[in-house]
Structure 1
Amino acid sequence: MKYTICELFAGVGGFRVGFEKSSSDWKTVWANQWEPSKKVQYAFECYKSHFETSGGINEFSNMDISKVPEEHIPKHTILVGGFPCQDYSVASTGAKGIQGKKGVLWWEIERILEAKRPPFVLLENVDRLLKSPSTQRGRDFGIIINCLAKLGYAVEWRVINAAEYGFQQRRRRTFIFAVHNTTNYYKELENQSVYEELQNLGFFSSILMWKLFQVKQ
Protein backbone atom coordinates (compact mmCIF):
# COMPACT_ATOMS: atom_id res chain seq x y z
CA MET A 1 0.00 0.00 0.00
CA LYS A 2 1.27 3.47 -0.89
CA TYR A 3 1.39 6.03 1.92
CA THR A 4 -0.35 8.96 0.23
CA ILE A 5 -2.32 11.82 1.77
CA CYS A 6 -5.07 14.11 0.55
CA GLU A 7 -5.39 17.10 2.90
CA LEU A 8 -8.66 19.07 2.82
CA PHE A 9 -9.23 22.37 4.64
CA ALA A 10 -5.49 22.22 5.08
CA GLY A 11 -4.89 25.49 6.94
CA VAL A 12 -1.12 25.78 7.23
CA GLY A 13 -0.61 22.00 7.03
CA GLY A 14 -1.03 20.60 10.53
CA PHE A 15 -2.09 17.13 9.45
CA ARG A 16 0.58 17.00 6.80
CA VAL A 17 3.35 17.93 9.22
CA GLY A 18 2.20 15.27 11.67
CA PHE A 19 2.11 12.48 9.12
CA GLU A 20 5.28 13.37 7.23
CA LYS A 21 7.29 13.84 10.41
CA SER A 22 6.10 10.49 11.75
CA SER A 23 7.53 8.66 8.72
CA SER A 24 9.33 9.56 5.50
CA ASP A 25 7.06 7.05 3.73
CA TRP A 26 4.14 9.49 3.82
CA LYS A 27 3.70 11.79 0.82
CA THR A 28 1.00 14.42 0.35
CA VAL A 29 -0.34 14.13 -3.21
CA TRP A 30 -2.96 16.87 -3.02
CA ALA A 31 -4.10 19.64 -0.67
CA ASN A 32 -6.80 22.29 -0.66
CA GLN A 33 -7.06 25.47 1.38
CA TRP A 34 -9.42 28.32 0.51
CA GLU A 35 -10.96 30.99 2.71
CA PRO A 36 -14.08 32.65 1.25
CA SER A 37 -14.38 36.44 1.15
CA LYS A 38 -10.67 36.95 1.70
CA LYS A 39 -8.65 39.04 -0.75
CA VAL A 40 -5.40 37.64 0.60
CA GLN A 41 -5.28 33.91 1.27
CA TYR A 42 -2.87 34.03 4.19
CA ALA A 43 -3.18 30.38 5.24
CA PHE A 44 -2.69 29.09 1.71
CA GLU A 45 0.27 31.39 1.11
CA CYS A 46 1.87 30.04 4.26
CA TYR A 47 1.14 26.47 3.16
CA LYS A 48 2.51 27.16 -0.28
CA SER A 49 5.74 28.70 1.02
CA HIS A 50 6.41 25.61 3.13
CA PHE A 51 5.34 22.82 0.81
CA GLU A 52 5.29 23.99 -2.80
CA THR A 53 8.54 22.20 -3.68
CA SER A 54 7.49 18.93 -2.03
CA GLY A 55 4.30 18.44 -4.06
CA GLY A 56 0.59 18.25 -3.39
CA ILE A 57 -0.22 21.72 -4.75
CA ASN A 58 -1.78 22.52 -8.14
CA GLU A 59 -4.13 25.06 -9.69
CA PHE A 60 -7.08 23.63 -7.74
CA SER A 61 -5.41 23.85 -4.34
CA ASN A 62 -6.53 27.43 -3.62
CA MET A 63 -10.08 27.13 -4.93
CA ASP A 64 -13.51 26.70 -3.39
CA ILE A 65 -13.59 22.94 -2.75
CA SER A 66 -17.15 22.74 -4.08
CA LYS A 67 -15.84 23.80 -7.50
CA VAL A 68 -13.04 21.23 -7.66
CA PRO A 69 -13.94 18.26 -9.94
CA GLU A 70 -13.30 14.86 -8.37
CA GLU A 71 -11.19 13.77 -11.34
CA HIS A 72 -8.59 16.42 -10.49
CA ILE A 73 -8.02 14.93 -7.04
CA PRO A 74 -5.47 12.08 -7.14
CA LYS A 75 -6.15 8.72 -5.54
CA HIS A 76 -4.86 8.59 -1.98
CA THR A 77 -4.46 6.24 0.98
CA ILE A 78 -5.87 8.57 3.60
CA LEU A 79 -8.05 11.66 3.45
CA VAL A 80 -7.44 14.08 6.32
CA GLY A 81 -8.95 17.41 7.25
CA GLY A 82 -10.04 19.77 9.98
CA PHE A 83 -13.27 20.89 8.36
CA PRO A 84 -14.65 24.35 9.30
CA CYS A 85 -15.98 24.43 12.84
CA GLN A 86 -17.77 27.79 13.07
CA ASP A 87 -21.24 26.35 12.57
CA TYR A 88 -20.63 23.66 15.20
CA SER A 89 -18.86 25.81 17.81
CA VAL A 90 -20.49 26.94 21.04
CA ALA A 91 -18.61 30.22 20.65
CA SER A 92 -20.63 31.01 17.53
CA THR A 93 -23.97 32.69 18.19
CA GLY A 94 -26.77 31.18 16.15
CA ALA A 95 -24.62 28.35 14.82
CA LYS A 96 -26.63 26.30 12.33
CA GLY A 97 -24.55 23.15 12.33
CA ILE A 98 -24.41 21.10 9.16
CA GLN A 99 -26.96 23.43 7.56
CA GLY A 100 -24.82 26.53 8.15
CA LYS A 101 -22.79 28.42 5.56
CA LYS A 102 -19.60 26.54 6.46
CA GLY A 103 -21.21 23.52 8.07
CA VAL A 104 -22.43 22.36 4.66
CA LEU A 105 -18.82 21.79 3.63
CA TRP A 106 -19.14 18.36 5.22
CA TRP A 107 -20.95 17.35 2.03
CA GLU A 108 -17.83 18.15 0.02
CA ILE A 109 -15.91 15.63 2.12
CA GLU A 110 -18.65 13.07 1.49
CA ARG A 111 -18.59 13.85 -2.25
CA ILE A 112 -14.85 13.21 -2.48
CA LEU A 113 -15.05 10.08 -0.34
CA GLU A 114 -17.80 8.68 -2.54
CA ALA A 115 -15.72 9.32 -5.66
CA LYS A 116 -12.32 8.17 -4.35
CA ARG A 117 -13.09 5.67 -1.54
CA PRO A 118 -9.69 5.98 0.18
CA PRO A 119 -8.89 3.15 2.61
CA PHE A 120 -8.64 5.52 5.59
CA VAL A 121 -10.09 8.84 6.78
CA LEU A 122 -9.01 11.07 9.68
CA LEU A 123 -11.03 14.19 10.48
CA GLU A 124 -11.00 16.80 13.25
CA ASN A 125 -13.48 19.33 14.59
CA VAL A 126 -14.53 21.01 17.83
CA ASP A 127 -15.82 18.87 20.68
CA ARG A 128 -19.24 20.52 20.40
CA LEU A 129 -19.73 18.72 17.08
CA LEU A 130 -21.19 15.93 19.23
CA LYS A 131 -23.97 18.25 20.45
CA SER A 132 -24.71 20.17 17.27
CA PRO A 133 -27.12 21.82 16.67
CA SER A 134 -28.29 23.17 20.00
CA THR A 135 -31.95 22.71 19.01
CA GLN A 136 -31.49 19.06 18.02
CA ARG A 137 -28.40 17.81 19.82
CA GLY A 138 -26.47 15.00 18.19
CA ARG A 139 -28.13 15.35 14.79
CA ASP A 140 -25.09 16.55 12.85
CA PHE A 141 -22.66 14.01 14.27
CA GLY A 142 -25.21 11.28 13.60
CA ILE A 143 -25.51 12.42 9.99
CA ILE A 144 -21.72 12.33 9.53
CA ILE A 145 -21.37 8.84 11.02
CA ASN A 146 -24.30 7.59 8.95
CA CYS A 147 -22.81 9.02 5.75
CA LEU A 148 -19.51 7.25 6.41
CA ALA A 149 -21.28 3.98 7.17
CA LYS A 150 -23.26 4.15 3.92
CA LEU A 151 -19.97 4.56 2.02
CA GLY A 152 -18.64 1.36 3.58
CA TYR A 153 -16.60 2.79 6.46
CA ALA A 154 -16.36 1.60 10.03
CA VAL A 155 -15.94 4.57 12.36
CA GLU A 156 -14.10 5.18 15.61
CA TRP A 157 -14.04 8.55 17.35
CA ARG A 158 -12.62 10.23 20.44
CA VAL A 159 -12.68 13.64 22.10
CA ILE A 160 -9.03 14.39 22.84
CA ASN A 161 -7.84 17.17 25.13
CA ALA A 162 -4.35 18.43 24.25
CA ALA A 163 -3.75 19.40 27.89
CA GLU A 164 -3.84 15.72 28.86
CA TYR A 165 -0.86 15.03 26.60
CA GLY A 166 1.58 17.63 27.84
CA PHE A 167 0.42 20.75 25.97
CA GLN A 168 -0.17 24.02 27.80
CA GLN A 169 -3.67 24.53 26.48
CA ARG A 170 -7.00 22.91 27.24
CA ARG A 171 -7.99 22.21 23.65
CA ARG A 172 -10.70 19.59 23.29
CA ARG A 173 -11.24 18.30 19.77
CA THR A 174 -13.31 15.52 18.24
CA PHE A 175 -11.28 13.18 16.03
CA ILE A 176 -12.97 10.77 13.64
CA PHE A 177 -11.12 7.80 12.18
CA ALA A 178 -12.77 5.69 9.49
CA VAL A 179 -11.55 2.55 7.75
CA HIS A 180 -13.08 1.11 4.58
CA ASN A 181 -14.48 -2.39 4.55
CA THR A 182 -12.17 -3.45 1.69
CA THR A 183 -9.04 -3.15 3.86
CA ASN A 184 -7.23 -5.86 5.80
CA TYR A 185 -7.37 -3.54 8.83
CA TYR A 186 -11.17 -3.63 8.73
CA LYS A 187 -11.21 -7.43 8.40
CA GLU A 188 -8.88 -7.81 11.38
CA LEU A 189 -11.12 -5.63 13.52
CA GLU A 190 -14.13 -7.71 12.52
CA ASN A 191 -12.53 -10.64 14.33
CA GLN A 192 -12.20 -8.66 17.57
CA SER A 193 -14.82 -7.88 20.16
CA VAL A 194 -16.06 -4.31 20.47
CA TYR A 195 -14.53 -4.24 23.96
CA GLU A 196 -11.07 -5.18 22.64
CA GLU A 197 -11.32 -2.61 19.86
CA LEU A 198 -12.28 0.23 22.18
CA GLN A 199 -9.83 -0.64 24.97
CA ASN A 200 -6.78 -2.09 23.24
CA LEU A 201 -6.76 -2.67 19.50
CA GLY A 202 -8.61 0.27 17.96
CA PHE A 203 -6.91 3.21 16.27
CA PHE A 204 -7.15 5.61 19.22
CA SER A 205 -6.78 3.06 22.02
CA SER A 206 -3.59 1.60 20.53
CA ILE A 207 -1.97 4.99 19.91
CA LEU A 208 -3.07 6.91 23.01
CA MET A 209 -2.85 3.91 25.35
CA TRP A 210 -6.25 4.27 26.98
CA LYS A 211 -6.49 2.57 30.33
CA LEU A 212 -9.47 1.02 31.98
CA PHE A 213 -9.82 2.08 35.59
CA GLN A 214 -11.91 -0.23 37.73
CA VAL A 215 -13.63 1.08 40.83
CA LYS A 216 -12.85 -1.03 43.87
CA GLN A 217 -15.91 -2.29 45.67
Structure 2
Amino acid sequence: MTLAQPIAVDLFAGAGGFGLGFKMAGFSIPLSVEIDTWACDTLRYNHPDMTVIQYDIRDFNTESQVKEICIFKPDIIIGGPPCQGFSIAGPAQKDPKDPRNTLFINFAQWISFLQPKAFVMENVKGLLSRKNVDGIKVIDIIKNTFEELGYLVEVWLLNAAEYGVPQIRERVFIIGNNTGKKIGAPPKRYSLGLLNFNHFQLSILDHEKLFPAFTVMKLLLKG
Protein backbone atom coordinates (compact mmCIF):
# COMPACT_ATOMS: atom_id res chain seq x y z
CA MET A 1 0.00 0.00 0.00
CA THR A 2 1.41 3.38 -1.05
CA LEU A 3 0.67 6.34 1.15
CA ALA A 4 -0.56 9.47 -0.60
CA GLN A 5 1.91 12.32 -0.85
CA PRO A 6 1.35 15.12 1.66
CA ILE A 7 0.15 18.25 -0.11
CA ALA A 8 1.80 21.65 0.22
CA VAL A 9 0.85 25.12 -1.01
CA ASP A 10 3.76 27.46 -1.73
CA LEU A 11 3.12 31.18 -1.16
CA PHE A 12 5.62 33.89 -2.14
CA ALA A 13 7.07 31.03 -4.15
CA GLY A 14 9.75 32.91 -6.08
CA ALA A 15 11.38 30.60 -8.61
CA GLY A 16 10.58 27.58 -6.45
CA GLY A 17 13.73 27.04 -4.40
CA PHE A 18 11.98 26.68 -1.05
CA GLY A 19 9.34 24.43 -2.56
CA LEU A 20 12.00 22.27 -4.20
CA GLY A 21 13.22 21.21 -0.79
CA PHE A 22 9.73 20.07 0.12
CA LYS A 23 9.40 18.20 -3.17
CA MET A 24 12.68 16.42 -2.44
CA ALA A 25 11.25 15.51 0.97
CA GLY A 26 8.26 13.83 -0.67
CA PHE A 27 5.65 16.58 -0.76
CA SER A 28 3.38 17.35 -3.69
CA ILE A 29 2.99 21.06 -4.52
CA PRO A 30 0.01 21.47 -6.85
CA LEU A 31 -0.32 25.23 -6.26
CA SER A 32 2.13 28.12 -6.03
CA VAL A 33 1.41 31.84 -5.74
CA GLU A 34 3.96 34.44 -6.83
CA ILE A 35 3.80 38.03 -8.10
CA ASP A 36 6.95 38.19 -10.25
CA THR A 37 6.51 37.37 -13.93
CA TRP A 38 9.94 35.83 -14.49
CA ALA A 39 9.68 33.71 -11.37
CA CYS A 40 6.28 32.44 -12.50
CA ASP A 41 7.67 31.60 -15.93
CA THR A 42 10.45 29.62 -14.25
CA LEU A 43 7.98 27.75 -12.06
CA ARG A 44 5.79 26.83 -15.03
CA TYR A 45 8.80 25.69 -17.05
CA ASN A 46 10.21 23.51 -14.27
CA HIS A 47 6.85 22.25 -12.99
CA PRO A 48 4.38 21.98 -15.88
CA ASP A 49 1.97 20.01 -13.70
CA MET A 50 1.77 22.79 -11.11
CA THR A 51 -0.87 25.53 -11.06
CA VAL A 52 1.02 28.80 -10.82
CA ILE A 53 -1.00 31.87 -9.88
CA GLN A 54 0.67 35.18 -10.73
CA TYR A 55 -1.00 37.61 -8.39
CA ASP A 56 -0.43 40.01 -5.53
CA ILE A 57 -1.34 37.94 -2.50
CA ARG A 58 -2.62 41.07 -0.77
CA ASP A 59 -5.56 41.05 -3.17
CA PHE A 60 -6.80 37.71 -1.77
CA ASN A 61 -8.56 39.10 1.27
CA THR A 62 -11.53 36.79 1.77
CA GLU A 63 -12.00 33.10 2.44
CA SER A 64 -14.07 32.68 -0.71
CA GLN A 65 -11.30 34.19 -2.86
CA VAL A 66 -8.67 31.89 -1.38
CA LYS A 67 -10.82 28.76 -1.64
CA GLU A 68 -11.71 29.58 -5.23
CA ILE A 69 -8.01 29.26 -6.04
CA CYS A 70 -7.13 26.46 -3.63
CA ILE A 71 -9.89 23.90 -4.15
CA PHE A 72 -8.18 21.24 -2.02
CA LYS A 73 -7.14 21.09 1.64
CA PRO A 74 -3.35 21.29 1.97
CA ASP A 75 -1.45 19.45 4.67
CA ILE A 76 1.04 22.29 4.95
CA ILE A 77 1.47 25.86 3.75
CA ILE A 78 4.99 27.11 3.13
CA GLY A 79 6.38 30.46 2.15
CA GLY A 80 8.97 33.16 2.51
CA PRO A 81 7.30 36.58 2.54
CA PRO A 82 9.60 39.25 1.05
CA CYS A 83 12.10 40.25 3.69
CA GLN A 84 13.78 43.45 2.50
CA GLY A 85 12.21 45.38 5.36
CA PHE A 86 13.84 43.04 7.90
CA SER A 87 17.15 42.31 6.19
CA ILE A 88 20.46 43.53 7.61
CA ALA A 89 21.54 44.24 4.02
CA GLY A 90 20.75 47.48 2.25
CA PRO A 91 19.98 50.84 3.92
CA ALA A 92 21.08 51.09 7.53
CA GLN A 93 17.80 52.61 8.66
CA LYS A 94 14.83 50.30 8.18
CA ASP A 95 11.32 51.67 8.01
CA PRO A 96 9.11 49.87 10.58
CA LYS A 97 6.12 50.81 8.41
CA ASP A 98 7.58 49.19 5.30
CA PRO A 99 4.59 47.30 3.80
CA ARG A 100 6.85 44.34 3.07
CA ASN A 101 7.10 43.84 6.82
CA THR A 102 3.40 42.99 7.12
CA LEU A 103 3.08 40.43 4.33
CA PHE A 104 3.16 37.68 6.95
CA ILE A 105 -0.42 38.76 7.74
CA ASN A 106 -1.49 37.62 4.27
CA PHE A 107 0.38 34.37 4.85
CA ALA A 108 -1.54 33.97 8.12
CA GLN A 109 -4.85 34.66 6.34
CA TRP A 110 -4.34 31.66 4.07
CA ILE A 111 -3.58 29.51 7.09
CA SER A 112 -6.71 30.77 8.82
CA PHE A 113 -8.87 30.07 5.77
CA LEU A 114 -7.42 26.66 4.80
CA GLN A 115 -6.50 25.27 8.24
CA PRO A 116 -3.51 23.12 7.23
CA LYS A 117 -1.97 20.74 9.73
CA ALA A 118 1.24 22.74 9.68
CA PHE A 119 3.04 25.69 8.16
CA VAL A 120 6.64 26.74 7.60
CA MET A 121 7.58 30.38 7.12
CA GLU A 122 11.16 31.31 6.27
CA ASN A 123 12.81 34.71 6.67
CA VAL A 124 16.06 36.52 7.36
CA LYS A 125 17.93 36.54 10.66
CA GLY A 126 17.21 40.26 11.01
CA LEU A 127 13.59 39.42 11.70
CA LEU A 128 14.54 38.39 15.24
CA SER A 129 15.74 41.86 16.22
CA ARG A 130 13.21 44.10 14.45
CA LYS A 131 10.58 46.06 16.35
CA ASN A 132 7.46 47.86 15.20
CA VAL A 133 6.70 51.54 15.80
CA ASP A 134 5.49 50.68 19.32
CA GLY A 135 8.74 48.96 20.22
CA ILE A 136 7.26 45.45 20.15
CA LYS A 137 9.39 42.70 18.63
CA VAL A 138 8.05 41.68 15.25
CA ILE A 139 8.83 38.02 15.91
CA ASP A 140 6.56 38.13 18.97
CA ILE A 141 3.77 39.67 16.90
CA ILE A 142 4.14 36.93 14.30
CA LYS A 143 4.16 34.18 16.93
CA ASN A 144 1.08 35.57 18.64
CA THR A 145 -0.74 35.85 15.32
CA PHE A 146 -0.25 32.17 14.56
CA GLU A 147 -0.90 31.06 18.13
CA GLU A 148 -4.26 32.82 18.03
CA LEU A 149 -5.09 30.62 15.03
CA GLY A 150 -4.56 27.54 17.20
CA TYR A 151 -1.01 26.58 16.23
CA LEU A 152 1.91 25.60 18.43
CA VAL A 153 4.69 27.84 17.13
CA GLU A 154 8.44 27.29 17.19
CA VAL A 155 11.16 29.64 15.95
CA TRP A 156 14.42 28.14 14.69
CA LEU A 157 17.58 29.97 13.64
CA LEU A 158 19.42 27.55 11.37
CA ASN A 159 22.78 27.88 9.65
CA ALA A 160 23.02 26.13 6.28
CA ALA A 161 26.71 25.34 6.92
CA GLU A 162 25.67 23.15 9.85
CA TYR A 163 23.61 20.95 7.54
CA GLY A 164 26.23 20.14 4.93
CA VAL A 165 25.63 23.13 2.62
CA PRO A 166 28.83 24.84 1.41
CA GLN A 167 27.68 28.26 2.58
CA ILE A 168 27.47 30.02 5.94
CA ARG A 169 23.90 31.30 5.77
CA GLU A 170 21.59 31.83 8.73
CA ARG A 171 17.84 31.91 8.24
CA VAL A 172 14.86 32.03 10.56
CA PHE A 173 12.19 29.34 10.28
CA ILE A 174 8.83 29.79 11.94
CA ILE A 175 7.18 26.38 12.28
CA GLY A 176 3.61 25.80 13.37
CA ASN A 177 1.45 22.72 13.79
CA ASN A 178 -2.01 22.08 15.18
CA THR A 179 -1.22 18.76 16.89
CA GLY A 180 -0.06 20.43 20.08
CA LYS A 181 3.25 18.54 19.95
CA LYS A 182 6.57 20.34 19.78
CA ILE A 183 8.73 19.25 16.84
CA GLY A 184 12.14 20.63 17.80
CA ALA A 185 14.82 21.86 15.42
CA PRO A 186 16.44 19.22 13.19
CA PRO A 187 19.77 17.84 14.43
CA LYS A 188 22.84 19.21 12.71
CA ARG A 189 23.99 17.02 9.86
CA TYR A 190 27.51 17.44 8.60
CA SER A 191 29.19 16.03 5.53
CA LEU A 192 32.02 13.52 5.86
CA GLY A 193 35.53 14.78 6.42
CA LEU A 194 34.56 18.11 7.89
CA LEU A 195 37.06 20.44 9.47
CA ASN A 196 36.25 21.96 12.83
CA PHE A 197 37.13 25.56 12.16
CA ASN A 198 37.46 26.24 15.87
CA HIS A 199 40.92 24.72 15.45
CA PHE A 200 42.11 27.72 13.48
CA GLN A 201 39.62 30.42 14.44
CA LEU A 202 39.46 30.12 18.21
CA SER A 203 39.98 33.84 18.57
CA ILE A 204 36.93 34.58 16.42
CA LEU A 205 34.40 31.92 17.31
CA ASP A 206 33.41 31.09 20.85
CA HIS A 207 31.40 27.95 20.17
CA GLU A 208 31.77 24.86 18.05
CA LYS A 209 30.81 25.04 14.41
CA LEU A 210 31.93 23.01 11.44
CA PHE A 211 32.55 23.84 7.81
CA PRO A 212 31.10 21.59 5.09
CA ALA A 213 33.47 19.06 3.56
CA PHE A 214 33.30 20.76 0.16
CA THR A 215 33.52 24.43 -0.68
CA VAL A 216 31.74 25.96 -3.65
CA MET A 217 35.09 26.45 -5.38
CA LYS A 218 36.04 22.78 -5.00
CA LEU A 219 32.72 21.69 -6.43
CA LEU A 220 33.07 24.08 -9.38
CA LEU A 221 36.56 22.75 -10.12
CA LYS A 222 35.22 19.20 -10.02
CA GLY A 223 32.59 20.15 -12.61
Task: State the TM bucket, normalised to the shorter chain.
Answer: 0.7 to 0.9
**8 A contact 2:44–2:50 mirrored in 1:** no
Q: What is residue 8 of structure 1 aligned with on the other side?
A: 11
Preserved contact between residue 130 and residue 137 of structure 1 (Cα < 8 Å): no
Say if 1:164 and 1:151 are closer, same or farther in 2 by CA, change over 3 A.
same
Query: Would the aligned equivalents of 2:11 and 2:33 in 1 still touch at CA under 8 Å?
Result: yes
Task: Please list the CA deviations of residues 141-164 of structure 1 after superposition, one character each: whole Å capped at 9, or x if unmatched.
Answer: 111000001000001121111122
Aligned AA for 2:70?
I
Instruction: Report what 1:43 is aligned to.
Output: 39
Deviations 1:160-195 (A, max 9, x none): 111222222221100111001xx3xx2xx3xxxxxx
Separation in 1, partners of 2:184, 2:34: 27
Cα distance in 2 between the residues matched to 1:169 and 1:42:
26
Quick one: structure 1 residues 156 and 165, their matched pair in 2 at CA, closer, same or farther if it must change by over 3 Å?
same
Contact 1:163–1:171 (Cα < 8 Å) also in 2: yes
Alpha-carbon distance in structure 1 between the residues aligned to 2:155 and 2:113: 23
SS in 2 for 1:152: coil
Name the SS for the 1:108 alignment partner. Answer: helix
Q: How far off is 1:118 after superposition?
A: 0.8
Identify the structure with the greater helix proportion.
1
Q: How does 1:50-65 map to 2 (within 5 A)?
A: 50-52=46-48, 54-57=49-52, 61-65=53-57
Larger Rg: 2
C-alpha change, 1:134 and 1:89, in structure 2 (3 Å) is farther
Q: Where has structure 1 moved over 3 Å in runs of 4 or more? A: 133-138
Deviates more, 1:170-179 or 1:129-138: 129-138
Contact 1:177 1:203 in 2 (8 A): no
Decide which of 60, 70, 80 is 2:66's aligned counterpart.
Answer: 70
Identity score, percent: 27
Alignment-mate amino acid for residue 32 of structure 2:
A
User: Deviation string for 1:106-144 (max 9, x for gaps)?
Assistant: 111111111111110011000110101387666211110
Normalising by structure 2, report the TM-score. 0.73
Structure 1 gaps, min length 5: 36-40, 190-196
Q: CA deviation at 1:209?
A: 5.0
Match of 1:151 in 2: 149
Alpha-carbon distance in 2 for matches of 1:106, 1:89: 15
1:37-62 Cα deviation digits (max 9, x unpaired): xxxx222211111012x2232xxx11
Residue number in structure 1 paired with 2:173: 175
For structure 2, the residue ranges without an aligned partner over 5 or more in a row are: 190-206, 208-223
Write out per-residue CA displacement over residues 95-114 of structure 1, whole angstroms, 9 at most, x where no aligned residue. Answer: 234x3121121111111111
* Counterparts of 2:35 and 2:171, CA distance in 1: 22
Number of residue equivalences? 180
For residues 137 and 161 of structure 1, do their structure 2 counterparts lie closer, same or farther at Cα, with a shift above 3 Å needed? farther
Cα separation, 1, equivalents of 2:171 and 2:94: 17
Q: Distance in 1 between matches of 2:161 and 2:135?
A: 26
> CA distance change for structure 1 residues 2 and 46 in 2, over 3 Å: closer, same or farther?
closer
Q: How far has the Cα of 1:92 moved from its partner?
A: 3.3
Instruction: Give the direction of change, closer, same or farther, for the CA distance of 1:104–1:134 in structure 2 (3 Å limit).
Output: closer
Report the Cα offset of residue 66 of structure 1: 1.4
Q: Supply the AA of the counterpart residue of 1:19.
A: F
